[in-house]
């Protein structure tokens, strides 16, 4: 019975996250995910790998506030953005659809700018480099960051092995959608926990822009490949 309850709780949480990814970050929506995040964090589960990782990371951030939340969030988001930029550069080199290439250029421009902002903030606010911020994260979060970094490296390596052509566009979107979802889910945990308004604003921008890109890539997958992602 306990196992069934855990699975049900994870499914409900996944449904809440799906709704949040598809809707603006309203206060009531954020409160809903925070309430259920707290419940799921008390009963960790093992399910689909990407869902499980997103849940664990959201749970970890849910327990942090102030400086610890800010430095841990930025220590994770900087390499996450770096991976997205690397994947987008592969799309520019190997993809075929002009619309998707335009999105890749936007990903590169926006996420490089955000990497610069977060790196500067770590230095200005806490006199830390991204590596030092990662080293100061709670031990359980450092393990999670290592696991996420390894998964991102594998994702980029797999994408780099795909030959140029329409098939690359499809593989790129199928990789970038869950990659974006991770960033959106993590950014949802910043509101109400970060001290600096500029970081809260950045997190809101990540939610808005990457949610829109997720919706657009899903639409392209349906239109170009008949796939419901």
Per-residue pLDDT of 168-220, as tens digits, reads 999 999 999 999 999 999 999 999 999 999 999 999 999 999 999 999 999 99
Q: Output the DSSP codes for 195-207.
A: S-HHHHHHHHHHH
Backbone angles phi, psi at 190, to 5 degrees: -80, -40
Average pLDDT, integer, range 69-82? 96
Average pLDDT over residues 107-116: 98
pLDDT at 38 over 60: no
Q: What is the pLDDT of residue 59?
A: 87
CA 144 to chain CA centroid, Å, is 13
pLDDT band at 29 (very low <50, low <70, confident <90, very high): low
Looking at domain 64-225, which CATH architecture does it have? Up-down Bundle (1.20)
Q: Domain locations in the chain?
A: 64-225
pLDDT digits (tens, 9 = 90+) for 151-176: 889 999 999 999 999 999 999 999 99
Give the Cα separation of 142 and 162 in Å (integer).
31
The pair of three-digit structure tokens given for residue 64, joined into one six-digit string = 């942090």
CA–CA distances in Å: residue 24 to residues 86, 139, 180, 192: 28, 33, 15, 16
pTM: 0.81
How far is 219 from 200, CA to CA, in rounded Å?
A: 29
45 CB contacts (<8 Å, ≥6 apart)?
Answer: 6, 7, 9, 10, 52, 55
Is it the case that residue 43 has pLDDT exceeding 80? Answer: no
pLDDT at residue 4, as a whole number:
37
Q: Which span out of 17-26, 113-122, 148-157 was modeled with the highest average pLDDT?
A: 113-122
The DSSP output letter for 129 is -
Residue 163 DSSP symbol: P
Cβ atoms of 69 and 194 closer than 8 Å: yes
Which two structure tokens, joined as six digits, stand for 217? 């890539």
């Amino acid at each position: 019975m306990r196992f069934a309850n855990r699975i049900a709780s994870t499914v409900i949480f996944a449904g809440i996250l799906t709704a949040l990814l598809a809707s603006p970050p309203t206060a009531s929506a954020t409160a809903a995910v925070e309430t259920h995040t707290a419940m799921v964090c008390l009963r960790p589960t093992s399910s689909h790998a990407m869902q499980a990782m997103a849940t664990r990371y959201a749970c970890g951030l849910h327990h942090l506030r102030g400086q610890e939340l800010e430095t841990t969030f930025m220590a994770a988001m900087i390499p996450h953005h770096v991976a997205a930029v690397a994947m987008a550069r592969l799309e520019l080199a190997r993809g075929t659809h002009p619309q998707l290439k335009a999105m890749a250029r936007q990903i590169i421009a926006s996420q490089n700018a955000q990497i610069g902002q977060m790196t500067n903030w770590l230095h200005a606010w806490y006199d830390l480099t991204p590596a030092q911020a990662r080293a100061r994260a709670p031990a359980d979060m450092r393990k999670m960051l290592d696991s996420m970094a390894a998964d991102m490296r594998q994702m980029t390596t797999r994408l780099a092995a795909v030959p140029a052509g329409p098939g690359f566009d499809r593989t790129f979107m199928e990789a970038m959608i869950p990659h974006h979802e991770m960033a959106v889910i993590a950014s949802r945990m910043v509101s109400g926990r970060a001290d600096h308004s500029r970081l809260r604003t950045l997190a809101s921008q990540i939610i808005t822009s990457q949610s829109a890109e997720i919706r657009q890539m899903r639409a392209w997958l349906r239109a170009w490949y008949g796939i419901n992602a």
